[in-house]
Chain A
Amino acid sequence: MDWKGRDVISVRDFSKEDIEFVLKVAERLEDELKNGPLDYAKGKILATLFFEPSTRTRLSFESAMHRLGGSVIGFSSASSTSVKKGESLADTIKTVEQYSDVIVIRHLMEGAARLAAEVAEIPVINAGDGSNQHPTQTLLDLYTIKRAFGRIDGLTIGLLGDLKYGRTVHSLAEALAFYDVELYLISPELLRMPKHIVEELREKIRIHETTDLEGTIPELDVLYVTRIQRERFPDEQEYLKVKGSYQVNCAVLKRAKESLRIMHPLPRVDEIHPEVDRTEHALYFRQVFSGVPVRMALLGLTLGVL
Chain B
Amino acid sequence: MAELKVTAIREGTVIDHIPAGKGLKVIEILRLNRPNGGVLLLASNVHSGKLGRKDIVKIEGKFLSEEEVNKIALIAPTATVNIVRDYMVAEKFKVGIPDEITGILRCANPNCVSNHEYTVSKFYVVSREPLKVRCHYCERTMEEEEILGNL
Q: Point out residues on A near B: beta carbons under 8 Å.
A: 10, 12, 88-90, 107-112, 114-115, 129-133, 196
Residues of B within 8 A of A89 (CB): 113, 117
Known pairs A109-B112, A109-B116, A132-B139 / 8 extra A-B pairs, C-beta < 8 Å: A89-B113, A110-B109, A110-B111, A111-B135, A114-B113, A115-B119, A129-B113, A132-B140
Q: Interface centre among A90, A131, A132, by most B CB within 10 Å?
A: A132
Question: B114 touches which one: A12, A111, A129, A132 (CB < 8 A)?
Answer: A111
B141 and A111 within 8 A (CB): no
| A–B Cβ pairs within 8 angstroms, 15 of them | A10-B139, A90-B117, A108-B111, A109-B112, A110-B112, A110-B139, A111-B112, A111-B114, A111-B139, A114-B137, A115-B113, A130-B111, A132-B138, A132-B139, A132-B140
User: Helix, strand, loop or mixed for chain B's interface?
Assistant: loop
Known: A88-B118, A90-B118, A115-B119. A109 touches B113 (CB 8 A): yes
Any A CB within 8 A of the CB of B136: yes
Residues of B within 8 A of A88 (CB): 117-118
Residues of A within 8 A of B117 (CB): 88-90, 112, 115
Question: B140 touches which one: A108, A110, A115 (CB < 8 A)?
Answer: A110
Shortest CB-to-CB span from A299 to chain B, Å, is 24
How long is the Cα–Cα vector from A247 to B118 in the complex, in angstroms?
A: 45
Shortest CB-to-CB span from A198 to chain B, Å, is 15
How long is the Cα–Cα vector from A133 to B136 in the complex, in angstroms?
A: 13
Shortest CB-to-CB span from B117 to chain A, Å, is 5
How long is the Cα–Cα vector from A87 to B133 in the complex, in angstroms?
A: 30
How long is the Cα–Cα vector from A109 to B109 in the complex, in angstroms?
A: 10
Shortest CB-to-CB span from A170 to chain B, Å, is 11
How long is the Cα–Cα vector from A196 to B111 in the complex, in angstroms?
A: 21
How long is the Cα–Cα vector from A107 to B112 in the complex, in angstroms?
A: 11
Interface string of B80-119 (1 = CB under 8 A from A): 0000000000000000000000000000010111101111
Interface string of B55-79 (1 = CB under 8 A from A): 0000000000000000000000000
Residues of B within 8 A of A111 (CB): 112-114, 135-139
Interface string of B112-151 (1 = CB under 8 A from A): 1110111100000000000000011111110000000000
Across the two chains, which residue of chain B brings its CB closest to A12? B139
How long is the Cα–Cα vector from A53 to B112 in the complex, in angstroms?
A: 19
Shortest CB-to-CB span from A10 to chain B, Å, is 6
B118 and A110 within 8 A (CB): no
Known: A89-B113, A110-B111. A130 touches B138 (CB 8 A): yes
Residues of A within 8 A of B137 (CB): 110-111, 114-115
Q: Interface centre among A88, A108, A109, A111, by most B CB within 10 Å?
A: A111
Across the two chains, which residue of chain A brings its CB closest to B107? A111
Residues of B within 8 A of A109 (CB): 111-113, 116, 138
A110 and B113 within 8 A (CB): yes
Shortest CB-to-CB span from B126 to chain A, Å, is 10
